[in-house]
Amino acid sequence: MKNLEPSNIPEKLLDLLKAQTVQKNSPAINALIEAARNNHGDSVRAVLFYGSCLRSGDVDDGLADLYLLVDDYRAAFKNRSLAFFNRLLPPNVFYLEVPFQGRLLRAKYAVLTLDDFRNGTEHWFHSYLWGRFAQKCGLIYSHSEEITAAVMESLAGAVMTFVSHALPQMESTFSARELWARGLSLSYRSELRTEQSDGASRLFDSDPDYYRELTQAVLENARFNVTINTDIIPHGYQVKISAEERRRNRIGWQVRAFQGKILSVLRLAKGLLTFKGGVDYILWKIERHSGVRVEVGPTLKRIPPLAILVIFWRLFRRGAFR
């Protein structure tokens, strides 16, 4: 089951994504966008907003998740080492604090070129990008209509790639909710994630009408051997996939899970170069998602690589990672 090429992405899918993704910003979001763009100058071509703060609509108490899409890493970074590491293992992730109307806004933002974003949502074997951006997100800044169109195609590519890899994991009859829950669960397992086991279902339930529309727009495409079947279950579908294709797909997810754990550790270790207080951030993120707290003394914090090894060993023993 091959992914669709961009030229074959259904117009209905592109229209749905644009209607849901291009949005008006709050003053707080605009303050974060301005601060993040100031760090990287004219190289920034688009900014995407995703994650729990997008779903809640509240950036005051949480940590907003942003993606900055740039035209070139050398132009985006004054530091050549940062440009090198971003090209070697994208993305680089940074922490941002912005004073705003008497309070402090916080965000973490990742930096990717538009080309890497396109490749990651459509062609990467690992689900790091297409698993994230098949989910609902907001395009909160775009340099031009041309950039907006390019981002929409990448987001549509992420949805198509996600569905094509999740579909062989489904029973012959399934619902839209089951498709997303299964696909997101597999994507979570392919990283060193700390989300609770029901996180994938809760994400669908945050906007079920949107995900059902998205599913229909994708599965209506003739390249998928899927038919609508609402007689057995509401919003139901039937699919015919050979046993051999299901086997290959299962092996693919097993390889992603192994590959993803390694990539996650490498990205977190790289984050020590880009995050002020990187060890504290990693501990906070893990505790926030899993409820598992690990104390690290000041001596270890002065040696971040050693601290990372100790943290992961202690967390692994305590079952923080799913």
Q: Is the pLDDT of residue 297 over 90?
A: no
Domains and CATH numbers, the chain: 6-244 (3.30.460.10), 277-317 (no CATH)
If you average pLDDT over residues 76-88, what whole number do you get? 92
Give the chain's mean pLDDT. 85
User: Helix/strand/coil (H, E, C) string of the chain?
Assistant: CCCCCHHHCCHHHHHHHHHHHECCCCHHHHHHHHHHHHHHHHHEEEEEEECHHHHHCCCCCCCEEEEEEECCHHHHCCCHHHHHHHHHCCCEEEEEEEEECCEEEEEEEEEEEHHHHHHHHHCCCCCCCHHHHCCCCEEEEECCHHHHHHHHHHHHHHHHHHHHHHHHHCCCEEEHHHHHHHHHHHHHHCCCCCCCCCHHHHHHHCCHHHHHHHHHHHHCCCCCCEEECCCCCCCEEEECCCHHHHHHHHHHHHHHHHHHHHHHHHHHHHHHHHCCCHHHHHHHHHHHHHCCCCCCCHHHHCCHHHHHHHHHHHHHHCCCCC
| pLDDT band at 309; cut points 50, 70, 90 | low
Tell me: the pLDDT tens digits for 2-16? 444 444 788 999 999
pLDDT recorded at residue 114: 97
Q: Is the pLDDT of residue 42 over 90?
A: yes
1 — pLDDT class (breaks 50, 70, 90): very low
pLDDT tens per residue across span 131-169: 999 999 999 999 999 999 999 999 999 999 999 999 999
Question: 31-45, 49-63, 93-107: lowest mean pLDDT where?
Answer: 49-63
